[in-house]
Amino acid sequence: MRDYSYEGIYQKLLTPDIVALLGQIHEYKGEQALLIGAKGDALTQLMELAKIQSTEASNRIEGIFTSDERLKKLVRDKTMPRSRDEQEIAGYRDVLATIHENYAYIPLKPSVILQLHRDLYRFSGKSIGGAYKNSDNVIQEIDEQGNKFVRFQPVPAWETPEAVERACGAFDDAAKNTEYDPLLLIPVFILDFLCIHPFNDGNGRMSRLLTLLLLYRAGYFVGRYISIEKLIEQTKETYYDALQQSSAGWHENGNDCAPFARYLLGVIAAACREFSVRARMLTAADLSKPDRVRAVIKDTLGKITKAEITQKCPDISQITIQRALNTLVKSGEVLKIGGGRYTSYTWNREREQ
């Protein structure tokens, strides 16, 4: 039977590359606290964009879709869900909001996990919401020829309640140890959660929601402003590879948590870097809006689209961005690549001395 104790696991994770990632995230944490404290109001639009991107990306990983227009209305609670997919999107929106607003009062307990899962399905009316799986499940993979094979066999249904209880208890015990960095405990718990696979459906989405919850409770709030779920979606092949590597031998306590910890910490570090760039650009009082568009392009190595510029500058209208682009292209500072919906832009570095 799986031993959920963190003793032994923690020390093995202190490899030079993982420690370097921890150092990066710690350093960004201090900068984030200063920016959020001084420019909280200016960062509201980043927060709203992250909510939309998180809800979209986490559901899209599981094959749950709706149109961009409907997604924005659902996330802003301006409409009721019209389809099964939209019901699940609305449920994710609500659980995400609950975590954003009440993380300090949401401890990691089995009863809490069940409540969050119940709310994930509040619009669908599915009886599976808020209940552990009632039959054994498997994690399957489909190869290029369309053949299905079992990638991992999770904990049996009858063992699931006890497994979740023990995993939560082990995390709680480890979190009380002041010698342990909480950032390094989070990937271990999320890996255990995914290997237990406690629900008939919604395990992946719940794992991402629990990641945010544990980060917030540890004092890391970057997920409010930069969508960690979107970064996972953009690197989902690497995510699945890391999960497969770290789950091998899990039942026998012979697995290596390092690949998954390295991956998840890398995603968090990437979110921190993105927040630093976007927040500084958004709160730069001495730059006009056209100058901010200019700075975004100059700061980007390679190509960038108008949509990507809009994401980095959510408070600047598309008309203002387009005018700035026209001016920059005309001056020769920026090069226009392609046309139509494939148009992108790049800084003309040949002009630099």
Residues 263 and 300 in one domain: no
The domain boundary residue, chosen from 242, 266, 282: 282
pLDDT in tens, 244-282: 999 999 999 999 999 999 999 999 999 999 998 888 777
Residues 13 and 35 in one domain: yes
Residues 72 and 103 in one domain: yes
Residues 324 and 345 in one domain: yes
Residue 353: predicted pLDDT? 58
In a domain, 221, yes or no: yes
In a domain, 180, yes or no: yes
Residues 160 and 301 in one domain: no
pLDDT in tens, 209-243: 999 999 999 999 999 999 999 999 999 999 999 99
Residues 118 and 222 in one domain: yes
In a domain, 1, yes or no: no
In a domain, 298, yes or no: yes
pLDDT in tens, 143-184: 677 777 788 899 999 999 999 999 999 999 999 999 999 999
In a domain, 233, yes or no: yes
Q: Is the pLDDT of residue 105 over 90?
A: yes
Residues 301 and 347 in one domain: yes
Average pLDDT over residues 9-37: 91
The domain boundary residue, chosen from 265, 282, 299: 282
In a domain, 34, yes or no: yes
Residues 213 and 298 in one domain: no
Q: Residue 235's closest CA among 272, 264, 215, 257?
A: 264
Query: Is 56 in contact with 292 (CB distance < 8 Å)?
Result: no
Residue 11: predicted pLDDT? 94
The domain boundary residue, chosen from 282, 314, 341: 282
In a domain, 2, yes or no: no
Residues 124 and 212 in one domain: yes
pLDDT in tens, 10-20: 999 999 999 99
For residue 73, the domain's CATH number is: 1.10.3290.10
Q: At what angle do helices 236-247 and 258-282 cross, to 10 degrees?
A: 150
pLDDT in tens, 278-329: 887 776 656 788 998 998 898 888 999 998 898 888 778 899 999 999 999 9
Residues 301 and 222 in one domain: no
Q: What are the CB-based long-range contacts (under 8 Å, 24+) for 296-304?
A: 297/328, 297/334, 297/345, 297/346, 297/347, 298/347, 300/346, 300/347, 302/346, 303/337, 303/344, 303/345, 303/346, 304/344, 304/345, 304/346
Residue 37: predicted pLDDT? 73
Total number of domains constituting the chain:
2
In a domain, 45, yes or no: yes
For residue 317, the domain's CATH number is: 1.10.10.10
Range of the domain at 295: 289-351
Residue 143: predicted pLDDT? 67
Residues 27 and 65 in one domain: yes
